[in-house]
Structure 1
């Protein structure tokens, strides 16, 4: 049967445009149901240069993922097109030429930016308060036909660019959030169609964003700088091949405009009566605008953007228009989402429309208390010049409900005039799950929505209140789930570069607790700091990318060797602060860190696991001596843990809690079979005595299901997973949640909002249980790094009669579905070409290995375990 190449990609880029890699590795996915198809060789055809002569490279290899670039390195701003062909074994069909895929490098050296300098308006900036966004413009002529044009652009803040009155690109909140002190990214746009021979104009609006706005807990404003500015270079290729460059320089002009303020926490104020029509076109007269001044050079290295950009990706209409208890109009969008509103409205000049965004309502009003000091408020002042369509530029909100005041005509407030715009990192969706249990399906959908709402430049904890930080503990817990649901490889690689930059600021090699950060958050904490080990390993498991693993190895090794304060037993120093099992269900609302499990027990358990992962990383990279070294250290740490937390106590462990037992079992800390059996039995008893309700916080939740499955207690975890009482995952669904919550009881059973100040309705950490759902209910997991081998091993239970999972792996689509009926169980799987599967069929012993193709099994008389 036919085999085809369905997709070709370069490195981790979804769109390989303006990239940094001059020798980008190439990958391709397959389609087809050919049985046992394996690649033996491949051809790569590369076309580059003005002559357009293709070169074909033939390679004898089974590899189809991240294969080396076979040609000479690309030069700066060089384009190429590539297609691939793959050969099967003798007697197997050839996967004919793929479609042609294009790539292009960005500006790769500081010399490429010659003449471009960062500029700001020549005015006093608002240092102590919100900064008014600035409009920059420049006119220029082109005296030739245009072959191509590229705009390379970044901001000291956030930007929106226009050429001849038309918006450039569809990226929002650009250039995103990064560790500006170390790495300042720029974006690349093809703007050929926006230019013309003759007179042209470029205009760029810049807001404060993460760079200079109010942000974080410690520094307040101006975390990276106190002046917003612009840096760009427009490179035009003329018909004769010569170049013309329009740079940000002192010839630009600047002014304030209708944007009064635009803050990430507090929202945007837009006064349309101050609009200057055509300000980014050639006809506009800027004689009364300000001069610009040159700013100091960027602190961070200027590099091409390497993570997925943030885009508008969905639109949602109001589900209902409500009247609050106090008589105010409230829009209910039926979904807790992240983004903003787009308004289409007509009204008198000066009409003030104000929008307050919240996640929930309480006592008949929008619940603003969980926002803490964030106003989450947008204001539009109408111009009165006919129908106006508006949306904010440099802010975003987490919300389901929006209270609107000042709308000029209530009869026009409807789904035609108001739309919620959903924004997040533009990653490719890869993972899917569905089952016969509707509440579980809804919970899984909620997990996806929480991931989308918190993947904006960095993996934030929450998207609504005065925080929205790249907390490392949350990311550590959720990363395996994220890697299944989306191809987040580029997102993580970008963020992990910041992690290493921030970690190596001083000789302690301590990762910050959130990334990007300020200097006051570098304190050694387990789980949060362990992200520099756990996340590279999780990303390697998903992608098989050893280059990424090598890039992150130094940070992982430095953390284990130097960053962790140790006691005399080589465990964690007992004087360190620890978050540990953060938001344990029994933690008081005003003390989220007051867990029932000793914080240093949790930290020591994670130290053991991270040391094992570092040994595994070393082995994967061929560092055999280091692998053996950390393997020995791992064994010694287990003995030290046993001496500290197990041997002195009559119970199986110092704290007989779900988290303590889970971590000890999941991390294989019990080396004595009798002690292991006792711990396993005790965990099951603890859970049963808690009526199968959750007893874990951030540290224990992601490991809980896997610990129970490892002791043949999957049925117990099904009882926990499908609970609808608090604390449980489905309680959130039963209470109407459409995203996953920060607290198990962010909303109390009586409908009141939890009184704790840390009460978010959009946190993904507890959604990490979806990793277990994908593997044990859906039945899919990587059998080896990069999914070359797929592990298919569903474990039915909980009264669920069918489930199906699908994952768009680096090799192609993998899917698994099972059904339990009166006659037995049927399992069906599909394996893409050049891939294989190890299948454990429920009700049968052993593992069956199969190659590509579609496969079925039937187990007569199979009954789902109780």
Structure 2
């Protein structure tokens, strides 16, 4: 990653188990007898098969197991081979790096040292190791990685937005194009000031939410690389982007002193058969049927609000290739000075579904008890509505409360009378969800809660003979996850949502590193600190 610093590397290393390193020598002979060692859990820049990285010397890591459980078994040498996939459809694969035999016990962060990597290059890599007796293992599976856009000059797209529209609105953008044939490989590089969702020919490309991760928007904007070849077809196609302002409309964006930013995005589409397109003033845009409620303002009162869905204005076909967008506005190009960096940490996803444990009828409302506090989205199935009827959803984390910290969302019925409310570019935090204005007694199954957090693999566990201790332990981890969203560990997910540095550090040794893959995450946290650091060193 271009913006990775020595300090960021040092912090990230704390989050990964280390093995002993010895000297290097690539000229030692191979032993034909195969070792029982198995290479597994292969990582590139701490991630499994990452897409669109911008580190020009990516580092490779792996784990070892021995089904035969040979005593004192260890790695004594390794060999990595990296093969570049064709960039254009008529190119041939090429070996970019063959390390030869390297005498070393190190299985963590072995740096690429081959031919210079190019933007949009995808590659496969494999590794084998030598054991304590000099026997060589079988080759690992072929893992993959791909490069993003490595230089500012590689970006051909322009920053675009829907000019003159209030920042509370969620905006649709789209661009039609023709293809004579489907390419072997096609990617979209998408950077947004605010959150985005990407669609191709009516289909959602990726199930990550609240993309990209949070950054100091005056200095850095993350971009996400999406493979899209499987969504394309011969003939007429469309790229569609749904955008919500998120932190761009805050009165103090992530990193103090960073104020409101114009919401928009820059994207570039590169295809292996030579067809390319990018964001410019020819894109069409329109206000969608969803918008923010509340001020997106942190502090003592907490006014991040919620979202409103007006079903009367919904256009289900808006992201399909055959939709007529001729009446839509044309996008406006604007200038944005910030470094574009690949998002090289785990995306935010819906990681767990929750069902309510009870529902209580109140005075013109019903309250669902989700059984636990959580940070995330709610999804509610609605019926028996009349056109224009407003249903409100409020959230509290204290029993007996109807709403706390301005956490309110709304759904406005269309003539159909049935629908689904769901968050898209905001979230709530609490345990009790109160629904107002239904006009009927709902079922428990009408409501689903989704825990959202950065999607990191859990590897640590604790269990003892005391049930109370076990319960406290799991609540502690749930609290940590409830405060970790978008690459930020917050002081609270409903009131402030600020990623104070001491919070990320305090959670690192007890919750994060012993329990979750955290190296990529803490590398990002360290970069956040650099981005808000003053010239005198103060953070």
TM over 0.5: yes
Task: Show the counterpart of 1:547.
Answer: none
Aligned match for 2:151, one of 109, 115, 119: 109
Displacement after TM superposition at 1:388 (Å): 2.5
1:10 matched to 2:44: yes
1:345-356 equivalence runs, <5 A? 345-346=382-383, 347-356=385-394
Displacement after TM superposition at 1:453 (Å): 1.3
Cα contact 1:235–1:245 (8 A) shared by 2 = yes
Task: Show the counterpart of 1:307.
Answer: 345
Cα contact 2:464–2:470 (8 A) shared by 1 = yes
Task: Show the counterpart of 1:283.
Answer: 322
Displacement after TM superposition at 1:268 (Å): 0.2
Distance in 2 between the 1:219 and 1:426 partners?
27
Task: Show the counterpart of 1:339.
Answer: 376
Task: Show the counterpart of 2:55.
Answer: 21
Structure 1 gap segments, 5+ residues each:
512-866
The structure that is strand-richer by fraction is 2
Displacement after TM superposition at 1:396 (Å): 0.7
What secondary structure, in the 3-state scheme, does the structure 1 residue paired with 2:130 have? Answer: strand
1:641-689 Cα deviation digits (max 9, x unpaired)? xxxxxxxxxxxxxxxxxxxxxxxxxxxxxxxxxxxxxxxxxxxxxxxxx
Distance in 1 between the 2:479 and 2:49 partners?
24
1:114-153 equivalence runs, <5 A? 114=156, 116-122=157-163, 124-126=164-166, 131-153=168-190
What secondary structure, in the 3-state scheme, does the structure 1 residue paired with 2:538 have? Answer: coil
Cα contact 1:462–1:469 (8 A) shared by 2 = yes
Distance in 2 between the 1:216 and 1:184 partners?
13
The structure that is helix-richer by fraction is 1
1:583-594 equivalence runs, <5 A? none
Distance in 2 between the 1:140 and 1:439 partners?
60
Distance in 2 between the 1:104 and 1:131 partners?
35
Aligned match for 2:73, one of 26, 37, 42: 37
Cα contact 1:262–1:394 (8 A) shared by 2 = no
Task: Show the counterpart of 2:414.
Answer: 383
Distance 1:117 1:433, change over 3 A: same
Task: Show the counterpart of 1:509.
Answer: 537
Displacement after TM superposition at 1:82 (Å): 1.0
Cα contact 2:198–2:242 (8 A) shared by 1 = yes
Task: Show the counterpart of 2:525.
Answer: 495
Task: Show the counterpart of 2:22.
Answer: none
Task: Show the counterpart of 1:165.
Answer: 202
Displacement after TM superposition at 1:15 (Å): 4.2
Using structure 1 for the length normalisation, give the TM-score: 0.54
Cα contact 2:193–2:221 (8 A) shared by 1 = no
What secondary structure, in the 3-state scheme, does the structure 1 residue paired with 2:189 have? Answer: strand
Displacement after TM superposition at 1:454 (Å): 1.5
Distance in 2 between the 1:133 and 1:432 partners?
41
Distance in 2 between the 1:377 and 1:218 partners?
25
Distance 1:351 1:432, change over 3 A: same
Task: Show the counterpart of 2:482.
Answer: 453
Larger mean Cα displacement after TM superposition, 187-196 or 63-72: 63-72
1:606-645 equivalence runs, <5 A? none
What secondary structure, in the 3-state scheme, does the structure 1 residue paired with 2:282 have? Answer: coil
Distance 1:367 1:408, change over 3 A: closer
1:246 matched to 2:284: no
Cα contact 2:253–2:260 (8 A) shared by 1 = no
1:379-431 Cα deviation digits (max 9, x unpaired)? 11122436433412110111111011122532x4322x211011101112121
Cα contact 1:14–1:427 (8 A) shared by 2 = no
Distance 1:105 1:219, change over 3 A: closer
Aligned match for 2:118, one of 75, 81, 95: 75
Distance in 2 between the 1:84 and 1:333 partners?
46
Cα contact 1:3–1:34 (8 A) shared by 2 = no
Choose between structure 1 and 2 for higher RCO, CA contacts under 8 A separated by at least 6 residues. Answer: 2
What secondary structure, in the 3-state scheme, does the structure 2 residue paired with 1:185 have? Answer: strand
1:323 matched to 2:361: yes
Distance in 2 between the 1:13 and 1:53 partners?
23
Displacement after TM superposition at 1:262 (Å): 5.4
Task: Show the counterpart of 1:856.
Answer: none
Cα contact 2:37–2:131 (8 A) shared by 1 = no
1:96 matched to 2:138: yes
1:231 matched to 2:262: no
Cα contact 2:36–2:137 (8 A) shared by 1 = yes
1:337-486 equivalence runs, <5 A? 337-346=374-383, 347-361=385-399, 364-366=400-402, 368=404, 371=405, 375-385=406-416, 387-410=418-441, 412-415=442-445, 417-457=446-486, 458-465=488-495, 467-481=496-510, 482-486=512-516
Cα contact 1:141–1:199 (8 A) shared by 2 = yes
Distance 1:246 1:267, change over 3 A: same
Distance in 2 between the 1:286 and 1:195 partners?
19
Structure 2 gap segments, 5+ residues each:
1-34, 87-91, 297-303
Displacement after TM superposition at 1:348 (Å): 2.8
Aligned match for 2:305, one of 266, 282, 306: 266
Task: Show the counterpart of 2:127.
Answer: 84
Displacement after TM superposition at 1:279 (Å): 0.9
Distance in 2 between the 1:292 and 1:179 partners?
25
Cα contact 1:149–1:237 (8 A) shared by 2 = yes
Distance in 1 between the 2:49 and 2:141 partners?
15
Displacement after TM superposition at 1:440 (Å): 1.0
What secondary structure, in the 3-state scheme, does the structure 2 residue paired with 1:484 have? Answer: helix
Task: Show the counterpart of 1:669.
Answer: none
Cα contact 2:394–2:403 (8 A) shared by 1 = no
Distance in 2 between the 1:210 and 1:342 partners?
23
1:198 matched to 2:235: yes
Distance in 2 between the 1:499 and 1:335 partners?
32
1:148-178 Cα deviation digits (max 9, x unpaired)? 1101112121111211111121111111210
What is the count of residue pairs matched by the alignment?
Answer: 485
Distance in 2 between the 1:143 and 1:52 partners?
24
Displacement after TM superposition at 1:186 (Å): 0.3
1:601-750 equivalence runs, <5 A? none
Distance 1:219 1:9, change over 3 A: closer
Superposition RMSD in Å:
2.2
Distance in 1 between the 2:454 and 2:293 partners?
21
The structure with the largest alpha-carbon Rg is 1
Distance in 2 between the 1:434 and 1:442 partners?
9
Distance 1:252 1:367, change over 3 A: closer
1:480-500 Cα deviation digits (max 9, x unpaired)? 121111111111111211211
Displacement after TM superposition at 1:189 (Å): 0.5
Distance 1:217 1:21, change over 3 A: closer
What secondary structure, in the 3-state scheme, does the structure 1 residue paired with 2:280 have? Answer: coil
Displacement after TM superposition at 1:312 (Å): 1.1
Task: Show the counterpart of 2:30.
Answer: none
